[in-house]
Amino acid sequence: MTAGTAGAAHTQRIREFKMPDVGEGLTEAEILKWYVKAGDTVADGQVVCEVETAKAAVELPIPYDGVVHALHFDEGTTVDVGTVIIAVDTDPGAGPVGEAPGEAAAPAEEDDAEPQGRQAVLVGYGAAPSSTKRRARKQQPGVPAQSEPVTAGLQAELNGHSAPAPAATPVAVPVAPAAPAAVVPAAERPLAKPPVRKLAKDLGIDLATVVPTGPGGVVTRDDVYAAAAPAEAAVPAAPEVAVPTAVAPVAAFDAARERRVPVKGVRKATAQAMVASAFTAPHVTEFITVDVTRTMKLVQELKQDPDLAGLRVNPLLLVAKAFLVAIKRHPEVNAAWDEATQEIVYKDYVNLGIAAATPRGLLVPNIKDAGAKTLPQLATELGELVATAREGKTSPAAMSGGTVTITNVGVFGVDTGTPILNPGESAILAVGAIKLQPWVHKGKVKPRHVTTLALSFDHRLIDGELGSKLLADIAAILERPKRLITWG
């Protein structure tokens, strides 16, 4: 068997599984849990790990039969989409896996080999094999060639691992005088991780003009930010002000009594979405306090109804139904703003989001076509939605396409709040705690069940009159729930 044939057989035997794009163009995912280890036997379709994206936790099945050859990342590691995370030996009976004969000694044969077609991955197609090989850097005059440990460190850094410490060498490197910033030759593609390339693209920075400071000439985030800084920021201020000024105290940190947690996954996505929403959609929030005593009585009656036996019946169910009936009376509120075309998109369906607090952060899955569902159907889907969210099993599809949302802050004993819209939605209703309070009822002060509702809406879509009518109708239904029949 020739060296080339042995190398091909070795490649076909070890199959590599890359981190797929598990939902809507996400660029990275964190490995939460491995269900297998090196040496375990796996079958096509078997779940091998659970990963968390910015939207949900997803289980990944392996598309090969064989034995796990290697796990390339530990649990808790954030991995870029397209990066190999696990290798499977598809022919374990062929003996130990080793380096293919002649593979290391004859790299020239590999370069001269005929290019192969693109290799299919789980989602879409990967790059052609030839494009995944990183060409050697050109030797610069007077600069010693990179040693093998440095190259290994660079590769480890690109794969998301810490670079190994280089071994000490007796070669003395002469200290040269400071030279102008080196620019990577145009014929050579700068080395940078995918997130860094995206950052440079977003900031309008040409990576070829960025001075790399990372190991082995890798462009880092700091390098891109430094290149994006205004040129005048690098010019020292004129020494005309000689009067000393008071220096602001530097914030002190007590590391022994503090802890830092990286922001990633759902919490990172939520933070970015809320900032984008707060500074994109002009928010208006209105409040109303309402007597919901009759609604609370209806909840107790429905719990005894045989048609709702085994279903989750609570005040939130009737609040959701009241919200849907009010939207039916004012369909113009169910809309979205299309910034690209400068159009308002009116929707003839309501995907009702329910904000759920989970150990992974705030999730807002939605009930599709909620406005067309009966009360028992709504109760069923509401119960399943909340249970799935708390288990961390909500899929990305369940959290996309929402039109309006309800957030129940009352379960925490909070009276009300000013909720922030989910991006792309027109309104969000906050439901406060339901408490016994003194209330004027039929001319007398009596203890009644009272709550405060807060409605935030996008003022580009909903003006004050329309928003006020919507909130007033929700309150009117909860005050006299028979309106669910007469208005619904």
Q: What pLDDT, in 10s, does the model give residues 138-169? A: 444 444 444 444 444 444 444 444 445 544 44
Residue 403 pLDDT exceeds 50: yes
Let me know: does 91 contact 302? Beta carbons within 8 Å. no
State whether residue 63 is helix, strand or coil: coil
pLDDT tens readout for residues 52-82:
876 677 889 999 899 999 999 998 888 888 8
Nearest to 151 by CA among 159, 188, 186, 74: 159
Residue 18 pLDDT exceeds 70: yes
Nearest to 369 by CA among 395, 345, 351: 351
Q: Which residue has the higher pLDDT, 357 or 456?
A: 456
Average pLDDT, the chain: 78
First to last CA, the chain: 78
* Mean pLDDT of the region 456-472: 95
Per-residue confidence band for 251, with pLDDT thresholds at 50, 70 and 90: low
The answer regarding whether domain 3-115 maps to CATH 3.40.50.150 reads: no
Vertex 16, ends 11 and 19: CA angle to 5°? 155
The per-residue pLDDT for 263 is 74
Burial 185-204 (b: 16+ CB within 10 A, else e): eeeeebbbbeebeebbeeee
Nearest to 17 by CA among 76, 96, 82, 100: 82
DSSP state for residue 206 in the 8-state scheme: -
Tally the C-alpha atoms within 13 A of residue 308's C-alpha that lie toward its C-beta: 20
* Mean pLDDT of the region 279-296: 93
DSSP state for residue 371 in the 8-state scheme: G
pLDDT exceeding 70 applies to what percent of the chain? 72
Per-residue confidence band for 184, with pLDDT thresholds at 50, 70 and 90: very low
Q: Which residue has the higher pLDDT, 38 or 177?
A: 38
Residue 133 pLDDT exceeds 80: no
Per-residue confidence band for 447, with pLDDT thresholds at 50, 70 and 90: very high
Residue 311 pLDDT exceeds 90: yes
Residue 242 pLDDT exceeds 60: no
The per-residue pLDDT for 253 is 65
Token readout for 387 is: 């249970």
The per-residue pLDDT for 446 is 95
Nearest to 226 by CA among 250, 253, 246, 199: 199
Residue 434 pLDDT exceeds 70: yes
Question: Would you put residue 405 in left (φ > 0), alpha (ψ -120 to 50) or beta?
Answer: beta
* Mean pLDDT of the region 212-237: 71
Distance, in Å, from the CA atom of 436 to the CA atom of 277, rounded to the nearest integer, reads: 35
The per-residue pLDDT for 32 is 87
Q: How many residues does the chain have?
A: 488
72 is catalytic: no
Task: Choose, from 69, 283, 441, 459, the residue flagged as catalytic.
Answer: 459
Least confident of 59-63, 95-99, 192-196: 95-99
The per-residue pLDDT for 123 is 38
pLDDT exceeding 90 applies to what percent of the chain? 42
Let me know: does 61 contact 89? Beta carbons within 8 Å. no
Helix H or strand E segment including 435: strand 435-441
The per-residue pLDDT for 271 is 74
Per-residue confidence band for 3, with pLDDT thresholds at 50, 70 and 90: low
Residue 399 pLDDT exceeds 90: no
Vertex 37, ends 36 and 43: CA angle to 5°? 50
Q: Do domains 3-115 and 267-486 have the same CATH topology?
A: no
The residues spanned by each domain of the chain are 3-115, 267-486
Residue 330 pLDDT exceeds 60: yes
Distance, in Å, from the CA atom of 425 to the CA atom of 354, rounded to the nearest integer, reads: 13
Nearest to 348 by CA among 366, 372, 364: 372
Residue 380 pLDDT exceeds 60: yes
Task: Find all residues with CB under 8 Å of 366, minimum gap 6, and list them.
Answer: 351, 352, 353, 354, 385, 398, 399, 401, 402, 403, 405
The per-residue pLDDT for 158 is 44
Q: Report the predicted TM-score, pTM, of the whole model to 2 decimal places.
A: 0.55
* Mean pLDDT of the region 224-228: 80
Residue 9 pLDDT exceeds 60: no
Residue 126 pLDDT exceeds 60: no
Least confident of 37-41, 213-217, 321-325, 424-428: 213-217
Token readout for 218 is: 């890798």
Let me know: does 214 contact 223? Beta carbons within 8 Å. yes
* Mean pLDDT of the region 395-420: 92
Distance, in Å, from the CA atom of 317 to the CA atom of 309, rounded to the nearest integer, reads: 14
Residue 100 pLDDT exceeds 70: no
- CATH topology for the 267-486 domain: Chloramphenicol Acetyltransferase (3.30.559)
Residue 340 pLDDT exceeds 50: yes
Residue 405 pLDDT exceeds 60: yes
Task: Find all residues with CB under 8 Å of 339, minimum gap 6, and list them.
Answer: none
Q: Which residue has the higher pLDDT, 158 or 201?
A: 201
Residue 116 pLDDT exceeds 50: no
